[in-house]
Structure 1
């Protein structure tokens, strides 16, 4: 009997330990840092498919979007952030909130689908944004761009969706060299970063967007391969993003793998470990 009691106590203590660990991890993920893995090429070459980073949630304060969404399709688990922190939703405000800066790379909750997106903040509340010949204009003034050579990559299936990259040098066969023009873009506050272009697309010329108060305008650095605020808000288009939908700022890449799994050590990109995000 004594042995069985000890065994039962051991099981109970093990369960307690697991529960406490999950609670601590949940609190840490909600309040401080959220892991984020880059699944698409919309932020090349600032962020590559397979980059793994932590999002700093303390930067902008907290809202309902700060709570994690837990989605495990194989197990049928679909717990949305609103299910956990819905009591914070509704007034487009934040607790201990601070304003993001133009040029920040931000993870935010899509206003319709609830999925996490990562893009660069281009337009602040009240700004008038227009795109002419792929060049952003902010309040009527063109953003500075300087040619910076080309970005090259191998044309091959990438990421979990196994899509081929778009190329400026036309369709190239699998294994060929895919080329995109690269420019250094500098925002009015002096923030500089690289942007890529593959030629004329529907997103290169857009009318004037007036960013509403309490909202933000985002674009991907891979300009011709990014669904962002240039597309009207629907399940896929981002549109203007409310302040409360911001999750946090991406500051540093912790790990990167070019393969389909981070466990394929031969595909690790050692030069991107702990790399600062510009």
Structure 2
């Protein structure tokens, strides 16, 4: 079942804040009046008695304790950086299954959590950047792909090669894997200011297509070209669906029974 973690986080932050506020505005003053009345009648009370009278109810103490923590997490996750784990091999060899990445949430503009309304424009995606976005056919799912085409571009894909506005995207062969009877080609591709590696499946037949990227949309592809569900199959990514720019791999963790590997920390190219 898909769930919106941002909605849950916002709800918990709001609930804890309301609980804390209710106690601070209504109950805390009543406790202080009760203490003043008791001391006016009995004189200075022992510290134990004072503490008992002023003690917060459990739900108010929980709200007071949790609200600052949740608020900090909400701000960091919504406006600065959000962690993701790579669940599939569509971005191999750039990103491995089990990689943990950080996504810069403000690089493409500040957006409100849950509603995703943009507050401030900052940058626009560039060719070659790795972006996280909400899947157009199911916005509750996050996808990660590389930007190939910008608004207005004419994108062609022929013989497992991209062409942008009639110009071939440069790809140089690095290795045949394995060297004898190769199943996969390792290529170094250059797009704009970005240079990165891609996989090409020797045995997979090539598809052919041409697309014109509409305004406010982007054309994306996985680096594992023959094993990626991307814009070649389901279309374009609206600017409204952008989550952020993938900037760094900070950990790799294969499974629950293995140890996390922090030695893989690297910038995402």
Q: TM > 0.5 between the two?
A: yes
* Residue 187 of structure 2 is aligned to residue 183 of structure 1: yes
* Residue 58 of structure 2 is aligned to residue 15 of structure 1: no
Match of 1:39 among 82, 87, 92: 87
Partner SS for 1:272: coil
Q: Which has the larger radius of gyration?
A: 2
Aligned to 2:174: 148
Whole-Å Cα distance in 2 between the matches of residues 2 and 243 of structure 1?
A: 58
Match of 2:131 among 102, 106, 114: 106
Whole-Å Cα distance in 2 between the matches of residues 151 and 26 of structure 1?
A: 44
* Residue 264 of structure 2 is aligned to residue 272 of structure 1: yes
Structure 2 stretches of 5 or more lacking a match? 1-48
TM-score (norm 2): 0.74
Residue 94 of structure 1 contacts residue 244 of structure 1 at CA under 8 Å; is this kept in 2?
Answer: no
Residue 36 of structure 1 contacts residue 55 of structure 1 at CA under 8 Å; is this kept in 2?
Answer: yes
Which structure has more relative contact order (CA 8 Å, sep 6+)? It is 1
TM-score (norm 1): 0.71
Aligned to 1:158: none
Superposition pairs of residues 1-278 of structure 1, within 5 angstroms: 4-5=52-53, 8=56, 12-63=60-111, 67=113, 81=114, 85=115, 88=117, 95-114=120-139, 115-150=141-176, 180-187=184-191, 189-201=192-204, 204-232=206-234, 239-257=235-253, 259-261=254-256, 264-265=258-259, 268-273=260-265, 275-278=266-269
Greater share of residues in helix: 2
* Deviation per residue, 1:207-229 (Å, 9 max, x gap): 21000011000000011111000
**CA-atom RMSD, angstroms?**
2.3
Structure 1 stretches of 5 or more lacking a match? 68-80, 153-167, 170-178, 233-238
Q: How many pairs align? A: 218
CA offset at residue 112 of structure 1?
2.2
